Amino acid sequence: MRYIEHLRKTFPMMKQHLLMDLGNSGWLNLLPSLKTNRLVYRVGLHAMGFAMFLLRLPKYIVYLNPEKLILPGLDVCVTTRCTLKCVDCAQRNTFYRSGKYAAVPEDSKLENISASIGKVLAAVDGVVIMGILGGETLLWPPLPQLLDEILASDKVFFIDVFTNGTLIPSGELLKRLKNKKAKVSISDYGVISSKKDVLIELFRENGVKFDVNYDGKTGWRRIYKAKDGPELPRGRTDEELGKIFKLCPIAKFCKHVIDDRLYICSILPHMDKLKIKPFDGMDFVDLNLPAAQVRDGIENFQSLDYLPACDYCDYMTGEDIQPAIQEEEGGA
């Protein structure tokens, strides 16, 4: 029974990992000529994905062991500074910029982030995809050094560096991005992602795996009210909160490290940092605890029935919106 329960819990992670290998790993973007023939492109995509899957087979076997704790996704926020001013930024940069909340845009310190990641890795057996994000990730000066540390870890299977397509990486950063474990996710917000085409050429020339997300028109969800707030609870019942929490993909796949805390999802840390919601202590694990207790805390995430903090978030219920409307355009 324990084995079946373990498989039931870990199946979504295995599926996500498999899908990564079966085509979402950015390899085919390095071969633009193949894209002119969709059939060849798709066959090539799956063939390469399957080859990757075979190469990584030992990592899948880890999932089958109920004693192992694998995080499907771990996001690390390195800066809340950004080159854009998106009205509906999921990381609540609008709130940071407003100056009306408890934090303003700033870079995290390399030593703090390294220490926090080290504490998470000491407590788990692996992380499938570590996402490095901001704000705008490429604004953060020590990114090459952080990548050196993460790429050296056997416990991190893939790294995904997110950028909004407005900056060009330095030569030092480019060297790290060529690593076989690394991929870059470029957000295409239309004309405001002004360096997107240059980035794509640069990555192709240098063998950096990448993919391009969004199409400038769809793909975002409005998750909170106006920045001038106050951000009030929506008044959902425990049952409604339970449904939201159980179905939320961010809660399943996007644990988030910020300031010595590991949060259940990547929306919550900014709520806490900005002091948008009352503290309840259910939504994060304190990384200053011994590794065994951090591990217990992460395992406990899975047994929660609902999360009170979801009452401040519309990720599962909000309207779909155009990505990256800028403050000047949106009038926020």
Q: Residues in the site for ligand SF4, rule: CB under 6 A?
A: 244-245, 248, 250-251, 265, 267-268, 307, 309-310, 313, 315-316
C-alpha 285 chain-centroid distance: 18
Which residues does residue 258 pair with via DSSP β-bridges, in sequence order?
261
CA angle 191, 208, 218 (to 5 degrees): 35
Please choose, from the candidates 129, 166, 136, 171, the residue with its C-alpha nearest in 3D space to the C-alpha of residue 150.
129
Cα separation, 70 vs 72, whole angstroms: 6
Structure-block tokens of residue 104: 């303003």
Cis peptide before 12 (omega within 30 of 0): no
Please identify, using beta-carbon distances, which residue of 165 and 269 lies nearer to ligand SF4: 269
Helix (H, G, I), strand (E, B) or coil at 16: helix
Measured from the CB atom, is 51 or 247 closer to ligand SF4? Answer: 247
Q: How far is the CB of 224 from ligand SF4 (least distance, A)?
A: 10
What is the closest distance, in whole angstroms, from the C-beta atom of residue 253 to ligand SF4 in the complex?
Answer: 10
Q: How far apart are CB 235 and ligand SF4 at their closest, in Å? A: 15
Q: And the tokens for 50? A: 């399957």
Given the complex with ligand SF4, which of 149 and 240 has the nearer CB atom?
Answer: 240
CB 95 within 8 A of CB 88: no
CB count within 10 Å of CB 48 equals: 17
**How many separate helices (H) and strands (E) can be counted in the chain?**
13, 10
Q: How far is the CB of 102 from ligand SF4 (least distance, A)?
A: 18
* Cα–Cα nearest to 139, from 71, 195, 188: 195
Nearer to ligand SF4 among residue 124 and residue 313 (C-beta)? 313
CB 269 within 8 A of CB 77: yes
Q: Which is nearer to ligand SF4, 147 or 313 (CB)?
A: 313
Instruction: State the minimum distance, in angstroms, from the CB of residue 275 to ligand SF4.
Output: 16
Shortest gap between Cβ of 244 and ligand SF4 (angstroms)? 5
276 alpha carbon, distance to own chain's centre: 21
Cβ-based nearer residue to ligand SF4, 44 or 308: 308
Q: Identify which of residues 32 and 249 has a Cβ nearer to ligand SF4 in the complex.
A: 249
Q: In terms of Cα–Cα distance, which of 48, 51, 59 is closest to 26?
A: 48
Least Å distance, CB 249 to ligand SF4, is 8
Tell me whether residue 204 or residue 234 sits nearer to ligand SF4 (CB atom): 234
